[in-house]
Amino acid sequence: MLTIDKLNELGANTAEGLQRCLNDEGFYLGLVPSALEKARYEELDQRIKAKDLDGAFETAHALKGILANLSLTPLFDVVNEITELLRSKTDTDYSGLVDKMWEQWNKFAALL
Amino acid sequence: MGTFVEQRLNLKRKVLVVDDELINRKLLSQIIGRDYEVLLAENGRKALRIIREHQETLSLILLDLLMPEMDGYELLEIIHNDLELSRIPVIVLTAEKSAEVKSLQMGAADFIPKPYDAPEVILARIGRTIELFDSNTIISATEFDSVTKLFNREFFMEYAYLHDQYYPDFEMDAYVLDINRFHLLNEMYGRAFGNDVLCHVAARLKELVKERHGVACRDSADVFFFYLPHTETPDEVYQYIEYSIRDLWQDARSHIRLGIYPKVDRSLDMNRRFDCALLACNSIRHNFTSHIAFYDAEMHEKEAFGERLISEMDTALQEKQFLVYYQPKFDITGDEPVLASAEALIRWQHPSLGMISPGQFIPLFEENGLINKLDRYVWYEAAAQIRKWRDKYGVTVPVSVNVSRIDICEPDFVYEIKRIVKDNGLRPQDYYLEVTESAYTENSDQIIEVVNELREYGFRIEMDDFGTGYSSLNMLTDLPIDVLKLDMKFVRNMHTNEKDYRIVQLIMDIAEFLDVTVVAEGVEFEEQYKLLKEADCDVIQGFYFSKPVPPEELEKFIVKED
């Protein structure tokens, strides 16, 4: 069950996210599942694995934006880190960061 | 101006949110939806469609940069380069510092960072941007002439004034540019061609003032003002502008003319300086050889004198400073000349300026429409005088009065003439109306209609100044006239110049053919009188018999006849 309290427990800054939604909890909670759509994270994962750094950057950048707006902070932090590396086209081993991303995603997705 | 109207009517403004992320679109809709009508697009291409559809009423675009199909930069460029769309402000949504700078350079009005600020901040930024663009739109709409995109008169005067403030030591020239026969260009080639000419002139003026550090505007229809640092070679200015349009109107027999007030007197109000240049420009309106005229001391004095006469006309009418003189016309068909009628002519006995010649005030009053008032004064005085003579001597001396084209166009003209005659107990045939030949040729249909009505009523119509108005011979046969008044310039030299005499004879033949009487004006010498008699002229008028005289003096001719 997705609630504000449970999101807070996972480290989301819901106060900030809610403020952007004019403190409309229902509206805010209604947006969160879209930000956790699994297919998009899988897309990022696959593009990184395929060394499609430009494509991966686009996906990461888009995810980063929505996670920031909803202030799902722990997930945002790791996606942000991936985005910045991709922006500079850093050819490195992303697997650790991708695992971390899935770890956070799983925590949030478990609430849905 | 759509946004301005919305502001005035207190309507909900439209804001377009362009973002490929549904969450971001929803978030922004939530934030601004209470204050604005929100339109949504998920990419640049779709956004452009919506923008074009709502371009008149769209107040703002919130634009994400990284999007599929058409990204924010591409859309921003399209908007920025489109004259119509560029009036819609764009706020860019971005998380990148570098993108902020780039988008501002590309014409974005502002940016909103991601993640979004507090809703209040976003709303404040949107509100401020819309307000700023509204003001700009209103200023632009009022600042520029819509056809030529030059300043309009009000803003021009303001900028010319500021120019003076910035360059207090510059000697400046005020220019007025007018296009001769512009109304004909519009009529013959259509308004679009006319506007094209105006835009070419305007484009050239823009280059000129840019090059010479001046200011320009379109004042009205085909009149432009510009203000430039003084030059001793205004011919070059003329050539510079004329060159740009020469090809455009090669068949149209048009040209531009410049009125220049050089080295303006800075103590004069800016509007006044351009009045002076305009006066110079108008002084060559009918001159097809001079294209440049300067406002100078002589023009200034003439203008001041004219202004004085105009301002004093009403008082002069009230105080009866205007005197009606009468010049007798003699019938020369018999053995002895016989008084046939007289022409009423105005004189101004000014209390301090003395006798003012009609040549000084009639053209002036004709120009600004005051002539109508003066003509009516003469009509009334002349009718009253015919009555006085009839009461005193028992004879009717018909008097002719001048009727201008402007008089005839007055809606109550016929009524007024009939009333004057009736009020004085006269018959219409006692009262002659002199209409100049040029009046017939300038607005023939209306003139002919009115004159026909008067003629049918019984008035006698004299065509004045015949031979100066370029009537075509076939037109003459249709004109409602009883008398041709032969212009004095034909009479003047007829006794010394064989050609002039032949022309007079020719006109006599035309008159005979038309079965109308001929009155010769300006007869001064016996030789002229004899020649005219020989040529079968019916009536003569001129100094040979009498100059125009006050009514009392004309009475001696009446007594003599009696």
User: Is the pLDDT score of B1 beyond 50?
Assistant: no
Q: So what's the pLDDT on residue B442? A: 66
Tell me whether A27 touches chain B (CB under 8 Å).
Answer: yes
Considering all CA atoms of chain A, what is the largest pairwise distance in Å, rounded to the nearest integer? 42
Q: So what's the pLDDT on residue B474? A: 64
Residue of B nearest to A36 (CA): B23
Q: So what's the pLDDT on residue B143? A: 82
CA distance B90 to chain A (A): 20
Per-residue confidence in pLDDT tens, chain A, 112 aa: 899 999 999 999 999 999 999 999 999 999 999 999 999 999 999 999 999 999 999 999 999 999 999 999 999 999 999 999 999 988 889 999 999 999 999 999 999 8
| Closest of B124, B112, B125 to residue B24, by C-alpha | B112
Sheet architecture: strand order including B172-179:
B215-220, B223-229, B172-179, B256-261, B292-294
- B490-527 pLDDT, tens digit per residue, is 888 888 888 888 988 988 998 898 899 999 999 999 99
Q: Which two tokens stand for residue B476?
A: 């003459």
How far apart CA B147 and CA B193 sit, in angstroms, is 12
Residue B496: φ, ψ to 5°: -115, -15
> Which segment of B81-95, B164-178, B396-410, B459-473 scores lowest on mean pLDDT?
B459-473
CA distance B76 to chain A (A): 20
User: Is the pLDDT score of B57 beyond 90?
Assistant: no
- Provide, as residue numbers in chain A, all residues whose Cβ is less than 8 Å from the Cβ of B21: 62, 65-66
How far apart CA B185 and CA A46 sit, in angstroms, is 71
Tell me whether A55 touches chain B (CB under 8 Å).
Answer: no
Q: Is B74 helix (H, G, I), strand (E, B) or coil?
A: helix
Q: So what's the pLDDT on residue B2? A: 47
Q: Which two tokens stand for residue B479?
A: 């004109």
- What does the DSSP 8-state code read for residue B85? G
Residue of A nearest to B117 (CA): A20
Q: Is A98 helix (H, G, I), strand (E, B) or coil?
A: helix
Distance of CA B466 to the CA centre of its chain: 28
CA distances from A10 to A4, A105, A110, A111 (A): 10, 11, 11, 10
CA distance A32 to chain B (A): 9
- B390-427 pLDDT, tens digit per residue, is 999 999 999 999 998 888 888 899 999 999 999 999 99
Interface of B with A in 1-60 (CB under 8 A): 20-24, 26-27, 30-31
Q: Which two tokens stand for residue B477?
A: 């046969």
Tell me whether A72 touches chain B (CB under 8 Å).
Answer: no
Residue B16: φ, ψ to 5°: -100, 125
CA distance B28 to chain A (A): 8
Tell me whether B115 touches chain A (CB under 8 Å).
Answer: yes
Q: Is the torsion defined by CA of B167, B172, B176, B177 positive or negative? A: negative
- Residues comprising chain A, all counted: 112
Q: What is the dihedral of CA B147, B148, B154, B155, to 10 degrees?
A: 130
Q: At what angle do helices B153-166 and B270-282 cross, to 10 degrees?
A: 110
Q: So what's the pLDDT on residue B428? A: 95
Yes or no, beta carbons of B66 and A58 under 8 Å apart: yes
**E strand or H helix at B23, and its extent?**
helix B22-32
- List B292's β-bridge partners, or say none: B258
Residue B540 half-sphere exposure toward CB, CA atoms < 13 A: 30
How far apart CA B290 and CA B257 sit, in angstroms, is 8
**Which pLDDT band, with edges at 50, 70 and 90, does B135 fall under?**
confident
Among the partner-chain residues B20, B31, B118, the one whose CB lies closest to the CB of A62 is B20
> Looking at chain B, which residues constitute the CATH 3.30.70.270 domain(s)?
153-295
H helices of B109-258, where? Answer: 119-143, 153-166, 182-189, 191-212, 234-246
Yes or no, beta carbons of B115 and A24 under 8 Å apart: no
Mean pLDDT of B118-130: 92
| Contacts of residue B281, Cβ cutoff 8 Å, sequence gap at least 6 | B176, B177, B178, B257, B258, B259, B293
For residues A14-42, b (16+ Cβ closer than 10 Å) or e, as one string? bebbbbbbeeeeeebbebbeebbeeebbe
CATH number of this structure's domain B153-295: 3.30.70.270
Percent of chain B residues topping a pLDDT of 90 = 59
Q: Which two tokens stand for residue A13?
A: 């800054």
User: Is the pLDDT score of B33 beyond 90?
Assistant: yes
Interface of B with A in 121-160 (CB under 8 A): none
Q: In the A/B pair of chains, how many CB contacts fall below 8 A?
A: 49
CA distance A99 to chain B (A): 24
User: Is the pLDDT score of B552 beyond 60?
Assistant: yes
How far apart CA B508 and CA B518 sit, in angstroms, is 7
Tell me whether B323 touches chain A (CB under 8 Å).
Answer: no
- Provide, as residue numbers in chain A, all residues whose Cβ is less than 8 Å from the Cβ of B120: none
How far apart CA B302 and CA B278 sit, in angstroms, is 14
> Looking at chain B, which residues constitute the CATH 3.40.50.2300 domain(s)?
2-143
> Looking at chain B, which residues constitute the CATH 3.20.20.450 domain(s)?
321-561
Tell me whether B116 touches chain A (CB under 8 Å).
Answer: yes
Tell me whether A69 touches chain B (CB under 8 Å).
Answer: yes
Q: Residues A54, A47: contact at Cβ < 8 Å?
A: no
- Provide, as residue numbers in chain A, all residues whose Cβ is less than 8 Å from the Cβ of B30: 20-22, 24, 27
Among the partner-chain residues B20, B66, B114, the one whose CB lies closest to the CB of A69 is B114
Q: Is B111 helix (H, G, I), strand (E, B) or coil?
A: strand
Q: So what's the pLDDT on residue B444? A: 72
Tell me whether A48 touches chain B (CB under 8 Å).
Answer: no
| Contacts of residue B534, Cβ cutoff 8 Å, sequence gap at least 6 | none
CA distances from B63 to A65, A75, A98, B99, B180 (A): 14, 25, 30, 12, 51
Q: So what's the pLDDT on residue B49? A: 96
Q: So what's the pLDDT on residue B529? A: 93
Mutation for testing the A interface, residue in B21, B23, B42 having most A CBs under 10 Å: B23
Mean pLDDT of B68-81: 91
CATH architecture of B321-561: Alpha-Beta Barrel (3.20)
Average pLDDT, chain B: 89
Q: Is B447 helix (H, G, I), strand (E, B) or coil?
A: helix
Q: So what's the pLDDT on residue B402? A: 93
- B429-451 pLDDT, tens digit per residue, is 999 999 887 777 666 778 888 98
How far apart CA B469 and CA B438 sit, in angstroms, is 4
| Closest of A67, A60, A33 to residue A44, by C-alpha | A60
How far apart CA B488 and CA B470 sit, in angstroms, is 16
- Provide, as residue numbers in chain B, all residues whose Cβ is less than 8 Å from the Cβ of A20: 27, 30-31, 115-116, 118-119
Tell the CATH topology of A4-109.
Four Helix Bundle (Hemerythrin (Met), subunit A) (1.20.120)
Q: So what's the pLDDT on residue B471? A: 61
Tell me whether A60 touches chain B (CB under 8 Å).
Answer: no
CATH architecture of B2-143: 3-Layer(aba) Sandwich (3.40)
Tell me whether A58 touches chain B (CB under 8 Å).
Answer: yes
ipTM of the complex: 0.90
Q: Which long-range contacts (CB under 8 A, 24 or more apart) does B100-107 make?
A: B102/B73, B103/B65, B103/B72, B103/B73, B103/B76, B106/B73, B106/B76, B106/B77, B106/B80, B107/B76, B107/B79, B107/B80
Instruction: Show the CA angle centred on residue B357, arms to residues B352 and B361, nearest 5°.
Output: 90
Residue of B nearest to A33 (CA): B23
Mutation for testing the A interface, residue in B27, B36, B63, B66 having most A CBs under 10 Å: B27
